[in-house]
Amino acid sequence: MANKISLKNDYPDISKSIELYNRSNRLIPKHSQTLAKSPSQFVFGASPIYLQSGSGSHVWDVDGNEYIDLIMGVGPISLGYSYPKVDEAIKNQLNQGITFSLPHPLEIEVSEMLRDIIPNAEAVRFSKIGNDVTAAAVRLARAYTGRDQIILCGYHGSQDWYIGVTEWNKGVPEAVQDLTYTFNYNDIQSLKDAIDENVAAVIMEPVTFQLPEDNFLQQVRQICTENGSLLIFDEMWTGFRISLGGAQEYFNIKADLATFSKACANGMPISILTGRWEIMKLLEDDVFFYGTFGGETLSLAATKATLEELRDKNVPAYLNEKGAILRDGYNAIARSLGMEYTRAEGYGYRSAIEFDPIGGTSLELKTLVQQEMIKRGVLWGGYNTMSYSHSDEDIQYILSAYEDTLPILKKSVDENNVKGYLRGATIEPSIRRIHNFNTRPKKRK
Ligand SMILES: Cc1ncc(COP(=O)(O)O)c(C=O)c1O
């Protein structure tokens, strides 16, 4: 959409956001949604806290400030806000009903589409959030192999089986923590060291921001097969983005089970489990995975419309091509300023901006960039997350905002005083690790 944002002379007025935030105090701890959207992830006092509306790649906060969104709901908004084709599909279905007392034909239609798109989708099940399907995949793997242990690499949600390996493990019984271990991306030896005959499954994000080296994914596949462990690809981010069929298609590797959500429904809450029939058929009898809203039809209608659009417009190619311009543009600006301590890494559809701790902590550097990007009308959370609605004009605008922001960061680093430039509290760490994430094998004797 046309970019009407102009450089703000001052930071945005966020008084209504602050007023609402005060109302939420002692009522909604940390707020709902995923951690990456909580107020703790945005520089308090200089960033909006609440959004009111969105159109295309732009959003408006409750004070009426307009921003280009580079977060896109932390993944679900693959096409754009208020995207007509998807909204029409939702409205049409709304006229007929939302959740029914028997299955609805849409469940079959969308499953058939997924069978055509996703390499291992011999069978399909739907649920609501990513958590549900990663947990179901782990349960299925345990049931299928008769083994208990899980090895992982990535972020997989807030269920006990996963969160127990992180520093947010309060409330997870030790007995559960002891069943999950981790390995390092691109470090095949760390997987070899961790895997044994007790391992039911290796679950991983096929890629985050590091590209696989030395046929890493092929090697993981082979080790799993040789060990009799299932390979589960958690494709919440790669699904429908790195290519339409996700990482399995992109890297030509079949996982035994795969999990999806985010990009497939342009904002509606739905998650997908796919896999080999031989494993998935356990859901017919032995493995319990049911939920009241599993077949909710507004999300299924949105998924159908979104998948058609992603396929017909070749959206993954667009995201990767346009996002690469942003990633490479950021790196060119940083290099031209001699700022070797910051870089954009990853694939076009989503790259991460990284900061080495120089002149302040990495989080302080990130906070300053966020503050200055928001001042310039870009809602920024440390990533270049692309949607089909991000126009060339948006991209040029974001690059010009980086061109203004990075010299400010450089000055603060040169003065060894990044913190002194912040107008609010430093943002808190998020759970996602870019390098060396979750590398805390807990094997106990
Ligand atoms: C790779 C991955 N797996 C699982 C999840 C959990 O999904 P949800 O927050 O919908 O439960 C996420 C969410 O960000 C994710 O990125």
Which residue has better confidence, 435 or 64?
Answer: 64
Pairing of strands 149-153, 199-204: parallel
Q: Provide the residue type at 396 as one letter.
A: Q
Distance of CA 235 from the midpoint of ligand 1 (Å)? 9
Confirm if 243 and 250 have CB atoms less than 8 A apart: yes
Stretch among 186-190, 278-282, 298-302 having the lowest mean pLDDT: 186-190
pLDDT, residue 2, reads 41
Pocket test for ligand 1, best of 129, 156, 273 (most atoms within 8 A of CB): 156
- Residue 128 CA to ligand 1 centre (angstroms): 11
Query: In whole angstroms, what is the distance from residue 345 CA to residue 209 CA?
Result: 6
Q: Do 315 and 72 form a contact (C-beta atoms < 8 A)? A: no
CA of 209 to the centre of ligand 1 (A): 16
Mean pLDDT across 215-236: 98
Alpha-carbon span 82 to 78, nearest angstrom = 11
Confidence of residue 445 (pLDDT cuts 50, 70, 90): very low
Contact predicate 208/431, CB 8 Å: no
Asked whether residue 3 carries a pLDDT value surpassing 50, the answer given is: no
Ligand 1 centroid – CA 437 distance (Å) = 15
Q: Which of 425, 394, 422 is nearest to 59 (CA)?
A: 394
- According to DSSP, the residues that pair with 180 across neighbouring strands are 150
Q: Is the pLDDT of residue 160 over 50?
A: yes
Mutational pocket test of ligand 1: of 38, 235, 261, 299, the residue with most ligand atoms within 8 Å of the beta carbon: 261
CA distance 9 to 13: 11
For the segment 360-372, what is each residue's pLDDT rounded down to a tens digit? 999 999 999 999 9
The pLDDT score that the predictor gives to residue 433 is: 53
- Specify the ligand 1 atom closest to the Cα of 131: 11
**Residue 74 CA: which ligand 1 atom is closest?**
14
Element (H, E) at 289: none
Pocket test for ligand 1, best of 34, 133, 293 (most atoms within 8 A of CB): 34
Longest dimension (CA), the chain: 65
Single-letter code of the amino acid located at 95: N
Rounded to an integer, the average pLDDT of 313-331 is 98
Q: Is 174 left (phi over 0), alpha (psi -120 to 50) or beta?
A: alpha
* C-alpha 263 – ligand 1 centre gap (Å): 11
DSSP character for 425? B
Q: Residue 145's CB: how many other CB atoms inside 10 A?
A: 19
The pLDDT of residue 7 is 53
Give pLDDT, residue 33: 87
* Residue nearest atom 16 in ligand 1 by C-alpha distance: 236
pLDDT interval class at 5 (50, 70, 90): low
**CA distance linking residue 130 with residue 156, whole number of Å:** 8
Cα 278 to averaged position of ligand 1 atoms, centre (Å)? 26
191-204 pLDDT, tens digit per residue, is 999 999 999 999 99
Output the pLDDT for position 8. Answer: 56
Amino acid at 93: Q
| Whether residue 440 has pLDDT greater than 80 | no
Choose between 441 and 76: higher pLDDT: 76
What is the percent of the chain where pLDDT is above 90? Answer: 90
pLDDT at 1 over 50: no
Ligand 1 atom index nearest CA of 134: 4
Mean pLDDT, residues 123-139 taken together: 98
At residue 436, the pLDDT reads 53
* Residue 246 · residue 260 · CB < 8 Å: yes
Nearest CA to ligand 1 atom 4: 156
Distance 19 CA to ligand 1 centre (A): 30
Spatial CB neighbours of 339, under 8 Å, sequence gap ≥ 6: 406, 409, 410, 413
Q: Is the pLDDT of residue 323 over 90?
A: yes
Task: Label residue 162 by pLDDT band (50, 70, 90).
Answer: very high
Sheet of strand 350-355, all strands in order from the earlier edge strand to the far edge: 342-347, 350-355, 383-385
> To the nearest whole number, what is the mean pLDDT of the chain?
94
pLDDT of 167: 85
pTM of the predicted structure, to 2 decimals: 0.96
What is the per-residue burial (b if ≥16 Cβ within 10 Å, else e) of 363-386? bbbbbbbbbbbbbbbbbbbbbbbb
* Residue 132 pLDDT greater than 90, yes or no: yes
3-class secondary structure per residue, 295-343: CCHHHHHHHHHHHHHHHHCCHHHHHHHHHHHHHHHHHHHHHHCCCCCEE
Q: Which residue is listed with tokens 């009308």? A: 377
Averaged pLDDT for residues 157-181:
92
| Domains of the chain and any CATH numbers | 15-74+314-414 (3.90.1150.10), 84-312 (3.40.640.10)
List, as one string, the DSSP characters of 82-132. Answer: T-HHHHHHHHHHHTT-SS-SS--HHHHHHHHHHHHHSTT-SEEEEESSHHH
Cα 66 versus chain centre, distance: 23
Distance set, CA 147 to CA 165, 269, 279, 405 (Å): 19, 31, 14, 52
Contact of 208 with 200, CB cutoff 8 Å = no
Task: Report the pocket of ligand 1 as residue ranges, CB < 6 Å.
Answer: 34, 129-131, 134, 154-157, 205, 234, 236-237, 261
* pLDDT of the residue at 355: 97
